[in-house]
């Protein structure tokens, strides 16, 4: 539990702060610890855009309410930015720059200057241009400072009873569209509707990649056999056609699940 105490100490050093809150595993752990240490001023801020499902926004609201912290939800029309819509390799940078700027401005309105987000050590090893935007805008990463990997976040979240300890990692819908393919509201809607349908069928760790009018389905490797069941396959093909895809394919390697799900108690 020394790591957890180190993280709590880091947060205690902040008399007031605003948390960029998504409702995911990382930011929920920070939210719960902030509630515990009771800083002088603390708010959680969520930004809703076309890149995030209504289910995820509703979940973030539910978690903030259950933990009992002040929660602000802002709306943005992210598709108004040409830098984002054109979907280059820097899309995530421009997106986070806009979203985190909104969080910074909302925090200032509440007299808060310290900004926190839920990046962990594993994020530093991925291609995440958004981290650069966060750094430029002055956001700090207590999980990184305390040496937390994703696996540690899940372990400690489970130990303190957070329901998000095994929540599948989520990425925005823009990641489903290949770089340099223009992002449109139609494509985002096709992806969201299709993923919701697969989720309703009982699949998890879902990604529906959009390649023009072709969908490429990724599910957990152990669920691929069920996906190929003749009855289910026909249902999915029919539904995806209704959603706007002309062709549907299946990634035979499946969705790569991060190792953090294989959690064991820390010794």
The conformational region for residue 58 under phi > 0 = left, psi -120 to 50 = alpha, else beta, is alpha
Q: Report pLDDT for 126.
A: 83
Residues 62 and 114 in one domain: yes
Q: How many domains, the chain?
A: 2
Residues 75 and 158 in one domain: yes
DSSP 177: B
CA distance linking residue 44 with residue 63, whole number of Å = 11
Instruction: Output phi, psi for 48, to 5 deg.
Output: -95, 130
Q: Report pLDDT for 259.
A: 56
H/E run at residue 153: helix 150-159
Residues 30 and 156 in one domain: yes
- CB neighbours of residue 248 within 10 Å: 19
Q: Report pLDDT for 262.
A: 52
Residues 143 and 196 in one domain: no
Residues 200 and 245 in one domain: yes
Q: Report pLDDT for 267.
A: 35
Q: What is the DSSP string of 68-113?
A: T--EEEEE--GGG-HHHHTT-TTHHHHHHHHHHHHHHHHHHHTT--
Residues 160 and 188 in one domain: no
Q: Which residues of the chain register pLDDT less than 70?
A: 258-267
Q: What is the DSSP string of 19-85?
A: EE--SSHHHHHHHHHHHHH--SEEEEEEEE-TTS-HHHHHHHHHHHHHHT--EEEEE--GGG-HHHH
Instruction: Output phi, psi for 191, to 5 deg.
Output: -65, -50
The residues that bridge with 139 in the sheet, in sequence order, are 115
Q: Is residue 49 part of a domain?
A: yes
Interval 1-54: pLDDT, tens: 788 888 999 999 998 999 999 999 999 999 999 999 988 999 999 999 999 999
Residues 196 and 243 in one domain: yes
Q: Is residue 53 part of a domain?
A: yes
Residues 33 and 162 in one domain: yes
User: Is the Cβ–Cβ distance between 203 and 219 less than 8 Å?
Assistant: yes
Residues 20 and 127 in one domain: yes
- Which of 46, 27, 57 is CA-nearest to residue 118? 27
CATH number for position 192: 3.30.70.2210
Q: What's the chain's length in residues? A: 267
Please indicate, yes or no, whether the overall pTM of this predicted structure exceeds 0.75.
yes
CATH number for position 144: 3.40.50.620
| Domain encompassing residue 212 | 184-250
């Amino acid at each position: 539990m020394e790591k957890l105490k180190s993280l709590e100490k880091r947060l205690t050093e902040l008399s007031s702060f605003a948390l960029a809150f998504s409702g995911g595993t990382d930011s929920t752990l920070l939210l719960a610890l902030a509630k515990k240490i009771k800083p002088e001023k603390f708010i959680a801020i969520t930004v809703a855009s076309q890149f995030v499902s209504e289910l995820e926004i509703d979940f973030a609201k539910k978690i903030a309410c259950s933990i009992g912290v002040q929660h602000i939800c802002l709306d943005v029309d992210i598709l108004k930015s040409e830098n984002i819509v054109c979907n280059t390799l820097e899309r995530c940078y421009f997106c986070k720059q806009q979203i985190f700027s909104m969080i910074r401005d909302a925090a200032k309105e509440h007299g808060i200057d310290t900004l926190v987000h839920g990046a962990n050590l594993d994020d530093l090893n991925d291609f995440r241009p958004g981290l650069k935007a966060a750094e430029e805008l002055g956001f700090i990463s207590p999980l990184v400072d305390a040496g937390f990997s994703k696996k540690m976040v899940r372990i400690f979240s489970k130990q303190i009873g957070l329901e998000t300890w095994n929540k599948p990692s989520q990425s925005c819908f823009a990641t489903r569209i290949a770089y340099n393919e223009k992002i449109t509201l139609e494509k985002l809607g096709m992806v969201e509707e299709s993923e919701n349908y697969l989720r309703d069928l009982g699949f998890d760790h879902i990604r529906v990649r959009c390649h023009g009018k072709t969908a490429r389905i990724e599910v957990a490797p152990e669920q691929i056999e069920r996906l190929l069941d003749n009855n289910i396959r026909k249902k999915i093909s029919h539904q995806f056609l209704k959603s706007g895809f002309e062709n549907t394919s299946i990634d035979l390697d499946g969705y790569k699940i991060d190792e953090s799900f294989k959690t064991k108690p820390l010794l």
